Structure 1
Amino acid sequence: MGHTQAKFWKCALQVNPASYISYRGQEQQLSETDYNQQMLEVCLQENIKVLGIANHGNIDGVDAIRDLMNKNDILVFPGFEIASSEKIHFVCLFSEKDTSQKLERYLGHLDLLDPEEGVKPSRLSAEQLIAKVNEIGGFIYAAHCTSENGLLKKRSKHIWILLGLKAAQIPGSVEDLKTVEDGFYRKVIRNKEVAYKRELPIAIINAKDIETPETLKDLRSSCLIKMTEPSFESFKLAFQDTESRVRLNSDVEEKYYSQIKSLKVTGGYLDGLDIKFSEHLNAVIGGRGTGKSTLLECIRYVLELEPIGINSQKQHKDIIKENLGKSRARVELTIRSSTMNG
């Protein structure tokens, strides 16, 4: 189903396959099929619509996860976690259309040729990794940047300020970092630390390492990305405008407000018009005489919001009479009231 309005989509961007738990020195109790099925069930429960696969230095399990999720309208960005020669960890994600064979070539391009060496650093520096991933059309973010092997933990300010690095992962909210290392991380993330100041603020995401399906229920495992239709290109585009298109779950307060959801006109000048309004900004654009004022006056008419001023009232009545009155037209509004939620 196509979408025509931008909205925030819940994205878990550091999901691991069933085999990942062995990296932690533990034994997987679930079969790959059961693990993937449980992960699907949690995604459906939590309304997670995008997964980024990020096993350490290999693409094991990507196709099985992708096939299952795609059948259930969940988009998968395949990828992997990789360490630079300085042992700084990054997650690299790629297009939903990229095959496993292409991902293997990407690993080779990033100087990590042997999957058995997946947990070992690449021969490329962090700066080279960022440049190469962008060059081949991928997306790279700094993984667990405030923890061990993290970009900020290692005080790598020359890497932090690179424009090719669009995002960094933190373990919770920005405010949670207020008392950590005397507020250093919080200050850097808010672009207030002079030595780390970026030309453009970096996007902050939550992408907790997913080692069991249940971990996906943790709000710190996902973040919110604003897109019209989820796709890798839309995803990357969102990070060009991080202040309005990238959110942490902890940033979103549940608010209830009234909304005009749709308008339908039967008969008259706008006969057949059927509009579904966005929850966000709506713009009415068109040349002179295309019905912009008529549309707005129809909404005013249905809501019985009479204009202020004699001239405005006359104009309103003339528009309604001309466009609705002559042909017994009908205007229907679908409205959501804030009082429905107390």
Structure 2
Amino acid sequence: MVRFEGTPEGADMKETDTPTELLTLLGHSAVAGEIKKAVTRSPGARFYRCAFQVNPFDYSVRHAVATPFQTEEEYNKEMVEACLKAGVDVVAVTDHFRIANSVSLIAAFEAAGIIVFPGFEANSSEGIHLLCLFEPGTSVTDLEQHIGACTVADRKVLSPQSTQTCEALLKLVADLGGLCIAPHVCSASGLLKTLSGQSRARAWKSDYLLAAGLPGPRDQAPDGIKSILLNEDETARRPQPICIVNANDISTPDGFTDDRVTTYVKMTAVSIEGLRQGFMDWESRVRLNSEAIEGEHTEIVAMGWAGGLFDGQSLRLNQGLNVLVGGRGAGKSTMIESLRYTFGLVPKGLEAQRSHNAIIKGVLGAGAKVSVLIRSPSPSPQYYLIERIYGQQPVVRDQAGMIIAVKAQELIGDVDIFGQHEISELTRQPEQLAEILRRFTSPVTDSS
């Protein structure tokens, strides 16, 4: 991580890499230390592209998978390069009830900055496959013990099998601190294909099963199974529909190019708990490759105050931030009004103008400055720093730290900022209310 003068040791996220586009700007002497400090912190949750079923070299050898590689080292090198090229951030290495032969591949991924969920693929007494994932960094010794706890009948066979049922394994892995995904549920060795009747319903409704694997979206599942995936089957209905992920065996570098083998999961930190929360809240935190992820937009990256009441304070903001929550006096209005002041936006209501002026005067005051770092994705990704000293006009700096003749409004686009009570005030003014509502209507529906 790049550390700048004035950035304290022990910043919130030491592992957070400063984007290279920001290095020149943050190294400029005129940039406030508050902004430099803010960008060292975690940006919060983001989508990670995950491949949950990656196999080591030994798996390909045992299962006679066609491969041009003669050695494990060659295989590992090409797998890592293909993973990086595909933009995969997270992998799970899951050979069949084996971990020792996955160690070198895990190490190769980690050396390249790819986060690894170590684990194994279990095979229940009924012949159902389960991907068993554990915390990144879990030792081989612990994983061997976890495999032992599954009471495998014969670990020397091609695909070892546990003496425990699918339901029992789901609970066992959870008790061991891991998480299970039921892969290829509609195919051979899949939960919904292998089981039937009450045994299928019980396993499917298990509190310990949070995700199921398909090669596509749930609405493209085979007839007879689709109703279960859509949570419309009375006998197998869960409290909420299960999370669907795209996961399939990746045993060659080309496998990473297949959209059916990776899934985007939104996490603050890559961990078992991060996955658990993502799978439980899948409607907002999980995206298949066939589903659109919100496109890039201009985002507020960080803001900071120098001088005044908030002297030395700074915030790192998430690219998906859309609401501020906090008790009275937490600083919500100060943040909103500071943004409005920095961007040079004028409140629309008279009461809002008076409130805005009072907050800015009380928080900033003579000589104080507020700085806002933004990122614009088009026409090419670019960072800008907008600064405003109390009583002066906003100043914009480009990535080189140079002042440019551009207004803040030109960078942020058609944006309105409303204070806490401003909407209420504007609802009492029909023309202003119509103007606000017009932003949410199309020319076809807008007849005002």
TM-score by length of 1: 0.89
After superposition, the Cα gap between the structure-2 partners of 1:60 and 1:338, relative to the gap in structure 1 and judged at 3 Å, is closer
1:172 to 216, 219, 234: 216
**Which deviates more, 226-235 or 277-286?**
277-286
Distance in 2 (alpha carbons) for counterparts of 1:104 and 1:168: 25
State how far apart, in whole Å, the 2-side matches of 1:94 and 1:188 are.
Answer: 27
Contact 1:134 1:164 in 2 (8 A): yes
Name the structure, 1 or 2, with higher relative contact order (CA <8 Å, separation 6+). 1
Q: 1:190 aligns with which of 230, 244, 253?
A: 230
Q: Work out whether residues 167 and 204 of structure 1, in 8 Å CA contact, stay in contact via their aligned partners in 2.
A: yes
Structure 2 letter corresponding to 1:176: Q
Partner SS for 1:294: helix
Would you say 1:9 and 2:48 are equivalent positions? yes
Counterpart of 2:181 in structure 1 is: 141
Query: Is 1:263 the counterpart of 2:328 in the alignment?
Result: no
The CA distance in 1 between the partners of 2:356 and 2:141, in whole Å, is 63
In 2, the alpha carbon distance for the partners of 1:246 and 1:266 equals 39
Task: Extract unaligned runs of 5+ from structure 2.
Answer: 1-14, 17-41, 381-448
What amino acid does structure 2 have at the position aligned with 1:212? T
- Is 2:374 the partner of 1:335? yes
Aligned to 2:193: 153
**Which digits, 9 at most, give the CA deviation of each residue in 1:281-336, with x for residues without a partner?**
35545555454322211111122332232221111112223333x32222232334
Are the aligned partners of 1:19 and 1:28 in contact in 2 as well (CA < 8 Å)?
Answer: no
Q: Report the aligned-residue RMSD.
A: 2.4
Hey, what does 1:119 align to over in structure 2? 159
Q: Give deviations 1:139-160, integer Å, cap 9, x for gaps.
A: 1121110111211123322211
Residue 87 of structure 1 aligns with an amino acid whose one-letter code is G
Counterparts in 2 of 1:52 and 1:265: CA distance versus 1, 3 Å: same
The residue aligned with 2:136 is 96
CA deviation digits over 1:249-296, x for unaligned, max 9?
Answer: 222245243332222323222222332211123554555545432221
1:77 to 2:96 alignment: no
Contact 2:217 2:244 in 1 (8 A): no
What letter is aligned with 2:46?
K
Give yes or no for contact 1:107–1:113 (8 Å, CA) kept in 2: no
Q: 1:118-174 CA distances to partner (integer Å, 9 max, x unpaired)?
A: 514321111121122122222112111011121112332221111111111001122
Structure 1, 80-89 or 10-19: larger mean CA deviation: 80-89
Alignment of 1:33-48 (within 5 A): 33-48=73-88
Amino acid at match of 1:298: S
What corresponds to 2:269 in structure 1?
Answer: 229
Is contact 1:270-1:291 (8 Å) kept?
no
Q: C-alpha distance in 1, partners of 2:144/2:378?
A: 54
In structure 2, relative to structure 1, the CA distance for the partners of 1:265 and 1:205 (3 Å cut) is same
Q: Which runs of 5+ in 1 are unaligned?
A: none
- State the identity %: 35
1:204 aligns with 2:244: yes
In structure 2, the CA distance between the partners of 1:199 and 1:322, relative to structure 1 (3 Å rule), is closer
Structure 1 Cα separation of the partners of residues 290 and 332 of structure 2: 38
CA contact (8 A) 2:298 2:376 kept: yes
Contact 1:152 1:185 in 2 (8 A): yes
Matched residue, 1:302 = 342
| CA distance, structure 2, for counterparts of residue 67 and residue 113 of structure 1 | 29
Q: Does 1:108 align with 2:152?
A: no
SS at match of 1:204: strand
Aligned equivalent of 1:239: 279
Looking at structure 2, the residues matched to 75 and 253 of structure 1 have their Cα atoms a distance apart, in angstroms, of 21
Q: CA deviation at 1:82?
A: 2.0
Paired residues of 2:303 and 2:316 also in contact (CA < 8 A)? yes
Q: In 2 relative to 1, CA 287–106 (structure 1 residues): closer, same or farther, beyond 3 Å?
A: closer
Q: CA deviation at 1:113?
A: 5.4
The one-letter code of the counterpart of 1:133 is V
> For the residues of structure 1 that align with 2:160 and 2:305, how far apart are their CA atoms?
63
The one-letter code matched in structure 2 to 1:276 is: R
Q: Distance in 2 between matches of 1:190 and 1:252?
A: 20
Deviations 1:195-250 (CA, angstroms, capped at 9, x unpaired): 22112321111112101022012222111122112123322333332332222222
Structure whose alpha-carbon radius of gyration is higher: 2
